[in-house]
Structure 1
Amino acid sequence: MTWWHAFVLAIVEGLTEFLPVSSTGHMIIASSLMGISKLEYTKMFTVNIQFGAILSVLVLYWKRFFQSFAFYKKLLIACIPALLIGFLLSSIIDQMLESVLTVAISLVVGGVILLFVDDWFKNDPTHSTPSTKQAFIIGLAQCIAMIPGVSRSAASIIGGLAQGISRKASAEFSFFLAIPTMLAAASYKFITDFLHLDIKDDLLKFNRPKIEAALSQLTVEDLKVLLFGNAVAFVVAMLAIKFFIGFLTKYGFKVFGYYRIIVGVLILVLLAMGVKLEVV
């Protein structure tokens, strides 16, 4: 992977991670068109740069993270469903992630749903803080995004709207919920899929020789590219979040619905033409 590849993927990650358009679909197109989708390092890189996106939320909303204990309690409760389902159904989820066709269909179906969300929730509620029960239901809605191509942010935001939370508040809670959810998922994938370490036998028991051997796979150049990618994803994600909040409040979801349909159809057309697309 070159620095240019890292730059493009980081921009794609930063732009799409918090928008209701599915970062997975965009990563498939970008990495496949650049011819780097089969590389082991590419898979690790696309997981790792999520940390830069996570950091953007912490920086933008840092004041919110000095709130009462109730704020963290709601986040914890909301992320529990994803952690449990992700752990129990990890093999099934991994199998689905191998299917580019599943991603394309999910993009189109999700896009069609977004076309009608604004009509379903015409009167934007004024509730700005989810209750503990509402947070849990939003967390359940987020689990739908374990189907590749279903946007995590779209699922959780719609889950918030269905609970009577305003668009702005639903989007912001979705951003907050991304921190523990993405942090856990990205860390797990990095440790198990790239470093090939067993969390119980290697990490918890601190198998030092195996841990050191795994980490030795990363060269100084690799680390530089990773830091660069995270920095780019961080800046782009900050801009995307600021844009999304204003756009969503004023215009709603319909534009994102049309966009998802276009991307999904594009992937289907490429598959029909025999273009080999790989899930990263």
Structure 2
Amino acid sequence: MFWKAVLLGLIEGVTEFLPISSTGHLIIADKFIRLSNHLEFTNAFKIIIQLGAVLAVVKLYWERLWPFARGKLQKNTLLFWLKILLAVLPAAVLGFLFDDLLEAKFFNPRSVAVALVFYGIVLLAVENLLRRKFPRPADTPLKWTTALGIGFFQCLALIPGTSRSAVTIIGGLLLGLSRPAAAEFSFFLAVPTMLGAALLKLAKTALVFSRAEWWTLIVGFFIAYWTGLIVIQIFMRYLQRHNFKFFGWYRIVIGLLILLSALITYLK
């Protein structure tokens, strides 16, 4: 399972911060490489290693996220965290209530493919809508209502294939943030969101993991972390000169290929 964990960790680290759905890509990848026959462990693995990638955000943005980074309490940083926590609440409540139901109904390639295509179209439509609109500067203070609005957008990402990054970035753009500011807030929002999701999954399943499965999880976790460190920096440089249309088209093409593959398999 070692090399499978490495591959899935790489996929997670690359896709977590791009608006293309990390969970969706992990579900599709697992259909080909089959991490484990222990379904409960496999589903937990896909969620928990996302926290590894998200810790890359903490590393890169430590001074902006830690209220005492400059030796004393920074009130602006504390207020910013309160806005992040406000944005987390809607998805946290729905995820806690419907986690098992969503996993049973939507953690499959067909649901992922439909979500990839649909939100790929949405991403293209949003970019076309905002093409002539001058964006709000990246350093404009984030409003409480904007944070909460993005939080409601994040609820859509409870269905795999949607992409938490995609819907929070789309929400940020529609609510007036610039592309870099929307992407950064999406990164920051991921920290408590994925921490909560990982802890919930561990609480439900950790006692059934074998020693080998724990080591597999640790390998995937750290590969996702180091890959995430690289991808975040490349992505932010990309956004200085480009929009999200490439990712919209990528989602549509990949989603259609998955649906075509499913159709061919069905016809056989």
The alpha carbon displacement at 1:37 in A equals 6.2
* 8 Å Cα contact 1:28/1:37 also seen in 2: no
**What are the equivalent positions in structure 2 for 1:88-167 lying under 5 Å apart?**
88-122=97-131, 123-128=134-139, 129-167=141-179
Partner of 1:50, secondary structure, is helix
Pick closer, same or farther for the CA change 1:37–1:224 going to 2, 3 Å.
closer
- Aligned equivalent of 2:53: 53
Q: Deviations over 1:104-123 (max 9, x none)?
A: 11101111122222222222
Q: Give the alignment partner of residue 185 of structure 1, picking from 197, 216, 225.
A: 197
Please name the residue that 2:185 is paired with. 173
Which runs of no fewer than 5 residues in structure 1 stay unpaired?
196-213, 276-280
**Pair 1:248–1:96, CA change in 2 (3 A):** farther
State the shift of 1:228 in Å.
Answer: 2.0
Aligned residue number for residue 254 of structure 2: 263
Matching residue of 2:94: 85
Q: CA deviation at 1:127?
A: 4.7
* CA spacing shift, 1:37–1:22, aligned 2, 3 Å: farther
Question: Structure 2: which 5+ residue stretches go unaligned?
Answer: 68-74
- Which range moves more in the overlay, 111-120 or 121-130? 121-130
- How high is the TM-score relative to the length of structure 1? 0.84
Q: Work out whether 1:11 is the aligned partner of 2:22.
A: no
Equivalent position to 1:241, from 218, 232, 248: 232
User: Is the Cα–Cα contact under 8 Å of residues 116 and 254 in structure 1 kept in the other structure?
Assistant: no
Deviation of 1:66 after TM superposition, in Å, equals 2.7
Provide closer, same or farther for how the CA distance between residues 114 and 37 of structure 1 changes in structure 2, counting only shifts above 3 A: farther
Residue 254 of structure 1 deviates from its aligned partner by 0.6
Letter in 1 for 2:123: L
* Alignment match, 1:205: none
Return structure 1 stretches of 4+ with deviation > 6 angstroms: none
Q: Would the aligned equivalents of 1:21 and 1:151 in 2 still touch at CA under 8 Å? A: yes
How far apart, CA to CA, are the structure 1 residues paired with 2:227 and 2:214? Answer: 20
CA distance, structure 1, for counterparts of residue 159 and residue 85 of structure 2: 22
Distance verdict in 2 for CA 1:273–1:35, change over 3 Å: farther
**Relative to structure 1, is the Cα distance of residues 36 and 66 closer, same or farther in structure 2, using a 3 angstrom cutoff?**
closer
TM-score, normalisation: structure 2: 0.88
- Rounded to whole Å, the distance in 1 between the matches of 2:47 and 2:80 is 27
DSSP 3-state at the match of 1:243: helix
How big is the shift at 1:91? 4.5
Whole-Å separation in 1 of the counterparts to 2:145 and 2:62: 24
Q: Deviations over 1:224-246 (max 9, x none)?
A: 33222211101111111112112
Distance apart, 1:54 and its partner CA? 1.7
Report the AA paired with residue 247 of structure 2. Answer: F
Question: Given the superposition, is the C-alpha separation of residues 12 and 94 from structure 1 closer, same or farther in structure 2, using an over 3 Å criterion?
Answer: same
Residue deviations 1:114-170 (CA, integer Å, cap 9, x gap): 222222222222153311111111101111111221110111111111121111111
Which segment is superposed worse, 142-151 or 98-107?
A: 98-107
Instruction: Tell me the distance in 2 between the aligned counterparts of 1:90 and 1:6.
Output: 24
1:126 is aligned with what amino acid? P
Q: Distance in 2 between matches of 1:127 and 1:21?
A: 23
My pick for the range that moved more, 73-82 or 99-108, is 99-108
DSSP-derived class of the 1:74 partner:
helix
Distance between the aligned counterparts of 1:154 and 1:28, measured in 2?
17
Q: How far apart, CA to CA, are the structure 1 residues paired with 2:213 and 2:91? A: 30
Measured in 2, the distance between the counterparts of 1:73 and 1:94 equals: 29
Residue among 207, 214, 224 paired with 2:215:
224
Q: Which residue in the other structure is 1:206 paired with?
A: none
What is the CA–CA distance in structure 1 between the aligned matches of 2:152 and 2:235, rounded to whole Å? 23
SS, match of residue 110 in structure 1: helix
Q: Which residue of 2 is the match for residue 44 of structure 1?
A: 44
